[in-house]
Amino acid sequence: MRRGSAAVFAAFVLTLCVEAQEKPWPDPAFPFGAVYFRKSNPPEQDWERDHKTAAQMGVNIFRHWFMWASIENSPGQYDWRDYDRMVELEAQNHIKVVIAEITTGAPEWMWDKYPQARHISSDGSQSYPAVSGSSATSSAPLCLDNEDVRGQAEKFLTALVERYRDSPATLGYDVWNEGGVQECYCPATQAKFREWLKAKYGAIEALGRAWHRYSFGDWESVHPPHGSVGYPDSLDWLAFCRDDAIRLLRWRTELIRRLDKRNKITAHGVGALTEIEWRTVANVDSYGYTWVASRHGNDPWMQFQAVDLVRGASRGKPFWHAEATGGPLWMQPQVVNRPLEDGRSSDDKDVRVWSLIDMAAGATGILFTRWRPLLDGPLFGAFGPMGMDGSVTPQAEMAGQLARWTNSHAEIWKSRPVKGDVGIVFVQESEDFNSVQSAGVPTGPGGAGGGRGAPAAGAYPQSVEGAYQAFFDSNIQADFVSIDDIGEYPMIYLPYPEMLEKSTAQKLRDYVAKGGKLVSEGCPGYFGDGGTAGAIQPNLGLDQLFGARESYVQFTPDLLTKLTLTVRGKEIGGQYFLQEYKLAGGKVAGQYANGHIAAVENTSGAGKTLLIGTFPGGAYFRSHAPATREFFAGLLAWAGVQQQVQSSDPEVKARLHKGAGGTYLWVVNPTRTARTVKISLASTFQRAVELWQESNRPTVGGNTLAVSVEDRNAAVIRLE
């Protein structure tokens, strides 16, 4: 058939649909595959062979980049040839396809036609058309806030969906590739920012008072901030950029849903600490994440945290590891001066344990970043489990083994990870304020501007990640939870709450009043709405919640790197800032070395609180002191929470899944030596059956299970 012909292709799709009706082709129990086609890799002469090989290995899903700039070669003229062939091969090999619609880069012919839409950075410079580092094809960086450009993108998306929606191979559309927020200072984005501000403040005078800028005159004089020193204009700009990104996401999803009532819509981010993760999931059927050890590191907590964060944001929806590591990464800045085994290169055991970590933490599908490595560009040879020539490597053989196993045990995926022992609360305004505040801090004596090099830069994510690590190192499952969902957990941990909005403070008070147990790091709500510091600390009425008033505070992150304090009998580390207290209804729970009050415990309503005057999470991120880890573990007893799963070996991680498919215990050994471990559970079981390594024979007695696990492997045990 002539693949460039729309009529012929439509007839081919109709034929496949008829065949599919006669021979039902269900969605895979566990999608397992990879990103395959990024024009112009892999070579065309290998496509048919590659698809047959993948299907024989057990691969059941491919994701392709359907790039606007590679398809609409001239106005209204679409070249679908390569993509038609992909979908055709998927249908022939019973491989489902996810269409990654890439509209973030426009065709180059639009660059000169729509000059007003060119992407502009905060320094006033504009981006230019270029060949992508992730695909050997070019695009023009135009901003979709421009209605004429977005109109062209809508025409393309309409043609895309109408062409492929009826193929039996089509599973759905990935509408946001590593979704995130992109700042643009083009006129259209600035106009939308002014509209956003009008909706928030109403009158220009109200905006002037909020921003401490009193001479705007009219709305046309309002512009986004260029740089930041921690004032409300910067906070508003960050919030607008997120809202604008979600607006464009909804435009995509609503358009596709109008055109296609059958197939699913997904998106994927990067497992980042941002409300974008939660908000994106709310607009799609499933979610996912990119996470590769080569970029982040091979410490097990890092991957577990990424999966746990996305699981928390997904709120029960299915989610995939949309781009996983299957091969090496060469000559990129993230890998310089790191050992080879720190994710720079991967063997079959790495592919095995990284995939099993995904599953243990709750992922419901895995796709490698590439099936075959790219042959062009800076990411040549990267990420794919297959050989450069499409040959089957040991890594690919392991991927095939995992693909076949996951889909031969459909019952496992009907059960989900149990809710964690503690919820780590994510608060967007705290992260925002840390970002804008640090941006204006000098890096050292005579420094001219801090940027991300400032002493407290990154303090928010480090505090969150440090708290997660401290629980993780005691095999305590800590879930990430938004402020709106804290009521689902009997105990929550609030990291780096330096800025809180009034509404957030009220939600914390309501949570405790209803019986919740709240542990808060220091300076809670020191800065309220708009970034203004409160005259009374803790701010926003939180002094009553915590039963404490500030007696002294010190914002000297460069001087507090070795801060220690004693809380509940443990000498733990502090970081960044220091807040001392006088009692206002609470009782002393900890002291600094100078004898001043460092922590206060209080009861409020049916619940209770523990306020710590510094940031133990940040301290643990910096230095994994055993006493600090023990302090975090002891918080469960303080809150009256029973740990659901305990491991006798702190390096071997265990997770419990429950649901319609049964009860399963995942025991993951990410180390490079075999381990025998005892797992203690909150409930008793009579029988344990290993499903992954069937020759393994775990023993169970009451609520204790003993099992041996090879290096970089896992046991998947059905409990009865």
Tell me which of 11 and 277 has the higher pLDDT. Answer: 277
Tens-digit pLDDT profile for residues 119-156: 999 999 999 999 988 888 899 999 999 999 999 999 99
Does the pLDDT of residue 674 top 90, yes or no? yes
**pLDDT score of 694:** 81
CATH 3.40.630.10 fits 6-102+144-180+263-408, yes or no: no
Does the pLDDT of residue 46 top 80, yes or no? yes
Does the pLDDT of residue 18 top 70, yes or no? no
Q: Give the bridge partners for 679, in sequence order.
A: 647, 705
Quick one: which of 689, 715, 659 has its CA closest to 360? 715
User: Average pLDDT for residues 488-516, to the nearest whole number?
Assistant: 98
CA atoms within 13 A on the CB side of 145: 28
Helices assigned H by DSSP within 427-566: 428-439, 459-472, 502-513, 542-546
Strands (E), 270-370: 286-290, 319-324, 366-368
Residues 6+ apart with CB under 8 A from 611: 520, 522, 524, 538, 546, 548, 581, 586, 599, 600, 601, 602
User: Average pLDDT for residues 495-512, to the nearest whole number?
Assistant: 98
Mean pLDDT, rounded, of the chain: 93
> Where are the chain's structural domains?
6-102+144-180+263-408, 187-223, 422-642, 646-719
**pLDDT score of 439:** 74
DSSP per position, 392-419: PPHHHHHHHHHHHHHHH-GGGGGEEEPP
Tens-digit pLDDT profile for residues 613-626: 999 999 999 999 99
Does the pLDDT of residue 10 top 60, yes or no? no
CATH 3.20.20.70 fits 422-642, yes or no: no
What confidence category does residue 454 fall into, taking pLDDT thresholds of 50, 70 and 90? Answer: low
State how far the Cα of 603 lies from the Cα of 599, in Å rounded to an integer: 14
State how far the Cα of 403 lies from the Cα of 385, in Å rounded to an integer: 13
Q: What is the pTM of this model?
A: 0.94
Does the pLDDT of residue 302 top 90, yes or no? yes
Residues 6+ apart with CB under 8 A from 515: 490, 605, 606, 607
Residues 6+ apart with CB under 8 A from 186: 116, 117, 118, 119, 120, 143, 145, 146
Tens-digit pLDDT profile for residues 315-367: 999 999 999 999 999 999 999 999 999 999 999 999 999 999 999 999 999 99
Tens-digit pLDDT profile for residues 181-238: 889 999 999 999 999 999 999 999 999 999 999 999 999 999 999 877 778 999 999 9
CATH level 2 (architecture), domain 646-719: Sandwich (2.60)
Does the pLDDT of residue 589 top 90, yes or no? yes
